[in-house]
Structure 1
Amino acid sequence: MSATTLSAPLAGARPVPNKWLVTVSVTFGTLMGAIDSSIVNVALPQIRGAVGATVQEITWITTGFVIATVIVMPLTAFLGRLFGQKRVYMASLVLFLAGSALCGVASSLPELVLFRALQGFGAGALQPTEQAILRQTFPPKEQGMAMALFGMAVMVGPAIGPTLGGYIVDNYHWSWIFFINLPVGALGLFMVWQFVQEPEDIRAANAAAAADQRRNLDWLGIALLAVGLAALQFFLEEGQQEDWFQSRLIVAAAAVAVVGLALFVWRELTARAPAVNLRLFKDPVFTSGTLVGAVMFSILMASMFLLPLFMQELLGFTAMQSGLALMPRVLVMMAVTPIVGRLYGRVSARLLIGVGVLLVAYGAFAVSHVTLATSAAGITHAILVQGVGFSFLFVPLTTVALSNVPRMRLADATGLNSLLRQVGASVGLAVFATLLSRYGVHARAAVASHLTIERPEVQGRLAQLAAGFQQRGFDAVAAHEAALRALDGIVRRQAMVLAFEKVLLLTGLLFLCVLPLLFFLKAKRGPGEPVHVEMEM
């Protein structure tokens, strides 16, 4: 073979992209999408006043974003085959930035909901596309580090969102929670265009699959997916406010979700060129890893919801103060996640995940002892332990779940993996918010049953409260009525403390239930990958 023949392919070959530049480039969009899933929540009172919406109506700003996000996630691979992964990522980022700019100038609730949905359609493809790009860019022995970098964006984003949002709302106009995305996103868009290259084998495989897809476009599957997921997400987001199955609308949403998703599964298993490859769930490693990840995100999102709520509602913290109190968990996750990424491949994935499960459960047990006297420092120890636990979970879970997936199917797998994480987070928020409300009612009834006027302790407390009000200028009758209301307020607060304690403890106990799934997390060793020393369980 001549030297000319040998050099011919090399002359047209693309330069190998720098993996770290690729990582930084694709992380911008994912981080912004993750932050935007939570940053808006702290600004809802200001936004509600600006657009003249009720408390119930304003929740559609969040609901519309999440519904749009979950619809796009499983279709990421389908779009990537038709247009290319890099183009899909860039188009999604442009859509996200356009939605951000429009949200910042919206003047009515319908406009804001529509533009938030536009943001969600853009954000939905960013996470799974980044995950697939990183898996295809890093060599097999560095897959753990690739997923560690991805995990930092996915986990840290929702954690810093409320703090960043609180700072912006306290110091600037609420529209800046959207406008801040524009310069960061523009930089990310430029870096993706400049540094990210789609691997030739992926391009060739996508081109071949796209031809078959175009001949057999799965419009029915896409429609069933959109209807089923939109109904499911509406059910999860709005069920608590509508008292679940007491509402005909929620019952209808549940029925549409069940029927739509059942028909979607049937369609995808029988279609010639399915839009979503559900056959990936035949792999027990992928299935169990994805399910454990969904449970992990349900607990993570629940704790991110419960603790700030406890601090703000019962301890009197501002949104900014509660965000700063939870910041140590974010910092420890940022510090530990890269270390776990390096450990992956040297230590059993199941051992790392098992340690993570135990740490998160212990943190939940520790934080379940909160009281009205608990300070921010009193919560720090527990959330630091949980932060370490989440770091030990995310990297090996995400890496091992995709370990048996063929390289050409990574985009399909990451889309499904991201979807289950998002649905898990929504389920966690819905379930624990409902339990918190119901436990609060039960605890209040239990505490109030002991407050009878015949008890000397109750009489003494009422007399003490009434005397305090009389010193402020109340007459005897008004002071007595004010004392009764004050005592009722004390009962409500103590009941909510008991409800928080019970729910926080339950998060840890439920998390321990995923330990049996670790039996299935035994990945095959890929070419060039170090041998995993697996524990028999």
Structure 2
Amino acid sequence: MSVAAALPGAAAPARPRTNKWLVTVAVSFGTLMGAIDTSIVNVALPQIRGAVGATVQEITWITTGFVIATVVVMPLTAFLGRFFGQKRVYLASLVLFLVGSALCGTAGSLGTLVFYRALQGFGAGALQPTEQAILRQTFPPKEQGMAMAVFAMAVMVGPAIGPTLGGWIVDNYHWSWIFFINLPIGILGLFMVWRFVEEPDDIRAANRAAAAEQRKYLDWQGIALLSVGLACLQYVLEEGQRDDWFQSRTIAACAAVAALGLLGFVWRELTARAPAVNVRLFKDPVFSSGTLIGAVMFAMLMASMFLLPVFMQELLGFTATQSGLVLVPRVGVMMLATPLVGRIYNRVSPRLLVGIGVVLVSWGSVNLSHVTLQSSSAEIVRQILVQGVGFSFLFVPLTTTALSNVERTKLTDATGLNSLLRQIGGSMGLAVFATLLSRYQTHARHALAAHVTAENPQVVERLGQLQAGLAARGGLDPVSAKAGALAALNGQVTQQAAVLAFEKTFLVTGLVFLCVLPLLLFLKVNRHGAAGAAHAALE
């Protein structure tokens, strides 16, 4: 084994043949588009549903199919890279993503659209891990923080701007343009990757050696168990809330298959001669803790991006575009703060940076628990700005530190697992907090309704005011006015229950996130020992 091949990823940078920032821009196009496409479709679902003639339940499959395909490919990125090369895998994945995008824009039925979205997902799945590995191999040790800052902006900003961009496109153009817009950007990305990205010699040599071993002992069992387990798990997370979780036999069966499949997969990978996925990387406590905190962080990010638009649209009366614009300042502050965190990463303990980020995100969530129907957009923006800074303090040190002890030739294995856990964390965040919101609203409504009785003088007075107002303004007879007053009072109770549910959910998100602080004890990175020696060896 060469000296470079045995060195930790953060310590043994390749010598890029082209400017590292050109490489960065080239590989960031695909990741950004893939991240945007996880959320951009959601705002166009009503228009798409009408175009393809689908029910509300059926149309969700265009999101579910995309996400399932994405998570299945992520952990297999290194496996594919060993056979075909990192650069070729990235180019092929980007081509597949663009072909899927073009086909999605021309789909005329639900079945074809779901299939084309799955093609998109298969292409998008390998983009994030491959970019992360390429950046780690391209930048020198002292600039690893900046490399991950650029990656962080693509991964975090994409889902944040997706709904706003999608809302604007749908409001002004046909829904198909949310897919067609990928084509010119993707073609530029293809050209830049082909022209500027070079696969390091040590990575290519290591991949050839590993591929020869894998051809002799091809791990079909591991791949099959992983694919089935992840597909079923993601289906449970995406569809569980709609089907009332384990009250549905389908969800219960998929959960059982997911558990058995993933347990079987782990056992297979630990015993296989040439495992398709290197799960032994989790033996490193730094990689495990950084990846786990990153998964929880993404759960919080995705939950907040789900909860806030729903609150603003359903309770404050905002349009989809207006609610998206309120979230834009958080994107802006993340784009400003993330490079700054990347620059100071080598001077400040990653545990301190992550600790600050956890506290800021939790603080913003707890403050959001005080929102009411009278809350202005400015009040909401103040809290999400705090969260935006917090997420910036989290993502850069987590992605940089988690990979700090990983051998350079195993970076793609690690980034595939890191991306997978982050994606699953986001899906779990959406599933858990959507369920909590629904349960909290039901409980709050029952609690409020218990006090809305004919024996309560305040209720009688309020009902009389509503009845009188309807009779005066609408010219209704007493019976119709009373029925209208009861309906209005019921609506007010439901609305107040929703507000209480959102407040409690925001509070829980903030308090739960603080529970990851003990994991910071494992984020101990040796910046100078192995890294310095390795860099000197390559000189």
* TM-score interval (norm. to shorter): over 0.9
Q: 1:474 aligns with which of 473, 476, 498?
A: 476
Q: Distance in 2 between matches of 1:528 and 1:162?
A: 43
Q: Unaligned 5+ residue runs, structure 1? A: 1-12, 532-537
Residue 444 of structure 2 corresponds to: 443
Residue 10 of structure 2 corresponds to: none
Q: Distance in 1 between matches of 2:317 and 2:99?
A: 37
Q: Distance in 1 between matches of 2:114 and 2:310?
A: 24
Q: Distance in 2 between matches of 1:290 and 1:524?
A: 18
| Contact residue 216 and residue 272 of structure 1 kept, 8 A | yes
Deviates more, 1:91-100 or 1:14-23: 14-23
| Contact residue 81 and residue 206 of structure 1 kept, 8 A | yes
Residue 494 of structure 2 corresponds to: 492
Residue 329 of structure 1 corresponds to: 330
**1:505 equivalent in alignment to 2:507:** yes
| Contact residue 15 and residue 200 of structure 2 kept, 8 A | no
Q: Which amino acid aligns with 2:77?
A: T
**1:294 equivalent in alignment to 2:262:** no
| Contact residue 141 and residue 530 of structure 1 kept, 8 A | no
- Go from structure 1 to structure 2 and tell me whether the alpha carbon gap of 1:15 and 1:407 turns closer, same or farther (over 3 Å shift): closer
The alpha-carbon deviation at position 460 of structure 1 amounts to 1.3
Q: Which amino acid aligns with 2:237?
A: L
Q: Distance in 2 between matches of 1:78 and 1:299?
A: 30
Equivalences for residues 245-284 of structure 1 within 5 A? 245-284=246-285
- Go from structure 1 to structure 2 and tell me whether the alpha carbon gap of 1:195 and 1:15 turns closer, same or farther (over 3 Å shift): same
TM-score after normalising by structure 1: 0.95
Equivalences for residues 306-345 of structure 1 within 5 A? 306-345=307-346
Q: Distance in 2 between matches of 1:528 and 1:435?
A: 46
**1:364 equivalent in alignment to 2:397:** no
Structure with more relative contact order (C-alpha pairs < 8 Å, separation 6 or more): 2
Q: 1:514 aligns with which of 513, 516, 527?
A: 516
Q: 1:525 aligns with which of 517, 524, 527?
A: 527
Q: Distance in 1 between matches of 2:523 and 2:351?
A: 6
**Deviation per residue, 1:433-459 (Å, 9 max, x gap):** 000000000000001111111222111
Residue aligned with 1:498, SS: helix
Q: Distance in 2 between matches of 1:197 and 1:25?
A: 11
Q: Which amino acid aligns with 2:509?
A: T
**Deviation per residue, 1:167-218 (Å, 9 max, x gap):** 0000000000000000000000000000000011101111111111111111
Q: Unaligned 5+ residue runs, structure 2? A: 1-13, 534-539
Q: Which amino acid aligns with 2:187?
A: A
Residue 238 of structure 1 corresponds to: 239
**Deviation per residue, 1:453-491 (Å, 9 max, x gap):** 122211111111112211212211011001101100000
TM-score after normalising by structure 2: 0.95
Residue 190 of structure 1 corresponds to: 191
Residue aligned with 1:252, SS: helix
Equivalences for residues 43-82 of structure 1 within 5 A? 43-82=44-83
| Contact residue 15 and residue 138 of structure 2 kept, 8 A | no
Q: Which amino acid aligns with 2:101?
A: S
| Contact residue 161 and residue 328 of structure 2 kept, 8 A | yes
Residue aligned with 1:513, SS: helix
| Contact residue 290 and residue 402 of structure 2 kept, 8 A | yes
Residue 177 of structure 1 corresponds to: 178
| Contact residue 72 and residue 227 of structure 2 kept, 8 A | yes
| Contact residue 350 and residue 518 of structure 1 kept, 8 A | yes
| Contact residue 46 and residue 174 of structure 1 kept, 8 A | yes
RMSD: 1.3
Q: Distance in 1 between matches of 2:250 and 2:528?
A: 49
The alpha-carbon deviation at position 527 of structure 1 amounts to 6.3
| Contact residue 140 and residue 526 of structure 1 kept, 8 A | no
- Go from structure 1 to structure 2 and tell me whether the alpha carbon gap of 1:226 and 1:528 turns closer, same or farther (over 3 Å shift): closer
Residue 6 of structure 1 corresponds to: none
Residue 8 of structure 1 corresponds to: none
Residue 42 of structure 1 corresponds to: 43
The alpha-carbon deviation at position 529 of structure 1 amounts to 5.1
Identity over aligned pairs, percent: 76
| Contact residue 16 and residue 138 of structure 2 kept, 8 A | no
Q: Distance in 2 between matches of 1:183 and 1:479?
A: 58
Q: Distance in 2 between matches of 1:249 and 1:362?
A: 39
Q: Distance in 2 between matches of 1:117 and 1:530?
A: 44
**1:23 equivalent in alignment to 2:20:** no
Q: Which amino acid aligns with 1:474?
A: L
Alignment coverage as a number of residue pairs? 519
The alpha-carbon deviation at position 523 of structure 1 amounts to 1.4
| Contact residue 311 and residue 322 of structure 1 kept, 8 A | yes
Q: Distance in 1 between matches of 2:22 and 2:15?
A: 16
- Go from structure 1 to structure 2 and tell me whether the alpha carbon gap of 1:171 and 1:332 turns closer, same or farther (over 3 Å shift): same
The alpha-carbon deviation at position 525 of structure 1 amounts to 2.5
Q: Distance in 1 between matches of 2:131 and 2:290?
A: 19
Q: Distance in 2 between matches of 1:324 and 1:419?
A: 29
| Contact residue 140 and residue 528 of structure 1 kept, 8 A | no
